[in-house]
């Protein structure tokens, strides 16, 4: 069965960086995009970016250009989200999701809570 398992909760200071992992299983990693979506407490879903695991090509939503880097380790079927220059507004749950044609995510990770606080 398709599974996406994310790394655990993180706490960072403002200005720091964080890297979240998303380990996939149950399907061929290179055949589906990995998308990242975040959700602040009590707020809606916000798309951050996408990555094609086969080519490594990436795309980022305008709000995150320059601060987000999406990478992958194909041998481990794992995708990574790195967010830099953290602000308190970045406090949120971060989700990875398996993307399909015109689908932001058909299978989702369990979410990773990031808290940014001084």
Partner 1 sequence: QSLLTQPPSASGTPGQNITISCSGGDSNIGSNSVCWYQQVPGAAPKLLIYISDQRPSGISDRFSGSKSGTSASLAISGLRSEDEADYYCASWDDNLFAYVFGPGTNIAVL
Q: Applying CB under 8 A, what is the total number of residues that bind partner 1? A: 24
Distances (CA, A) of 96 to 41, 64, 84, 93: 17, 15, 17, 10
Residue span 31-70 as binding mask against partner 1, x where in contact by CB under 8 A, dash where not:
----x-x------xxxx-xx--------xxxx--------
User: Does 8 participate in binding partner 1 (rule CB under 8 A)?
Assistant: no
Closest among 50, 53, 47 to 24, alpha carbons compared: 53
Q: Are 50 and 70 within 8 A, CB to CB? A: yes
Select 37 or 92, whichever has its Cβ closest to partner 1.
37
- The pair of three-digit structure tokens given for residue 64, joined into one six-digit string: 């995150």
Residue numbers at the binding site for partner 1 (CB under 8 A): 35, 37, 44-47, 49-50, 59-62, 95, 97, 100, 102-106, 108-111
């Amino acid at each position: 069965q398709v599974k996406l398992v994310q790394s655990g909760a993180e706490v960072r200071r403002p200005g720091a960086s964080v890297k979240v992992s998303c380990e996939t299983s149950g399907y061929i990693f290179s055949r589906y995009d990995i998308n990242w979506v975040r959700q602040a407490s009590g707020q809606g879903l916000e798309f951050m970016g996408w990555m094609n695991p086969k080519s490594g090509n990436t795309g980022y939503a305008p709000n995150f250009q320059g601060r987000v880097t999406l990478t992958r380790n194909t041998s481990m079927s794992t995708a990574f989200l790195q967010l830099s220059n953290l602000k308190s507004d970045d406090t949120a749950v971060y989700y990875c999701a398996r993307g399909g044609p015109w689908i932001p995510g058909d299978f989702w990770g369990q979410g990773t809570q990031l808290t940014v606080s001084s």
